[in-house]
Amino acid sequence: MRSEGPGLFSDFGKKAKDLLNKDYATDQKFSISSSSYTGVALASNLVNKGGLSAGDVAAQYKHKNAAFSVKLDTESNVLTTFTVTDLLPSSKAVASFKLPDYNSGKFEVQYFHEHAALSTAVGLNKSPAVDFSATIGTPGIAFGAEASYMTSSGEFTKYNAGVNLTKPDSNASVILADKGDSLRFSYVHHLNQLNGGAVLGEIMRKFSTNENTLTVGCSYLVDQGTLVKAKLNNHGNLGALVQHEFRPKSFITVSGAFDTKALEKTPKFGLALSLKP
């Protein structure tokens, strides 16, 4: 479906965000999922946070170029998503709504070209929000922007712009966000010395508060099934995790968060177990 091109604006800096945030948690989480050759997939999650438990159950059915999914959580919310790819060449359409919030419906269309990618999402209500993003370039270098417009007030609630550079062993991005109030630069480099792991640096500048945040991180593959990650910023916040794949697509993850400038505070730890029978 997707042609070789610059990708969507939401992909800018995604590798850095995943390395710094993906799988880090300070809660206890249990997940189980399964799938069949008929295209049916089931998943269930249970999270314990601060002594309170929450969970959800999801089902997905795929047939040819279409997918239909339903998720029910412990707060009685029902999220339904319908996705169709290649309804038109190099396109993707996604319709979603959440009950009992009847105004949460959204319809999104994505289009991918050799040198451009476009995405438009419209809320399915009387005064919808309209989200739009566009990128131009190649898989190696791309320029893009995104914006959100509220038809009820006639104002733009978001507009961001950036550039993304991708090489086989590295990725760099510069994003001007928050209506021009913040600037984020990130760089990820993959190293053979880390068994396919990576190192990264991220600098965020908040102009309104004159605040800078520098974060460095790394990932290291101890062996074929064990991943170690760590991150530290200039405010003294340290995060670390160990993830082990004890059988195909089944993981156990232990992570922790520490404030190195206030060591008297109790560190926060999380445990996640993901199973695929």
Tokens encoding 257: 């968060």
Residue 25, Cβ density class (10 Å: 0-12 exposed, 13-18 middle, ≥19 buried)? buried
Mention every residue, 6+ apart, whose C-beta is less than 8 A from residue 10. 119, 133, 146
Burial class (CB in 10 A: 0-12, 13-18, 19+), 52: exposed
| DSSP bridge partners of 153 | none
Tokens at residue 198, please?
């990576």
Beta bridge partner(s), residue 251: 245, 274
pLDDT band (50, 70, 90) for residue 261:
confident
pLDDT at 4 exceeding the cut of 80 = no
Q: Which amino acid is at 152?
A: S
The proportion of the chain whose per-residue pLDDT surpasses 70, expressed as a percent, equals: 97
What's at 204, amino acid-wise?
A: M
Pick from 104, 106, 108: which is nearest to 85 by CA?
Answer: 108
pLDDT at position 202: 97
Reading phi first (left if > 0) and then psi (alpha if -120 to 50, else beta), residue 24 is in beta
List pLDDT tens digits, range 27-50. 888 899 888 888 899 999 999 877
Q: What is the pLDDT of residues 137-195, one digit of tens each?
A: 999 999 999 999 999 999 999 999 999 999 999 999 999 999 999 999 999 999 887 78
Place of tokens 């102009």: 207
140: left (phi over 0), alpha (psi -120 to 50) or beta: alpha
List pLDDT tens digits, range 196-254: 789 999 999 999 999 999 999 999 999 888 999 999 999 999 999 999 998 888 899 99
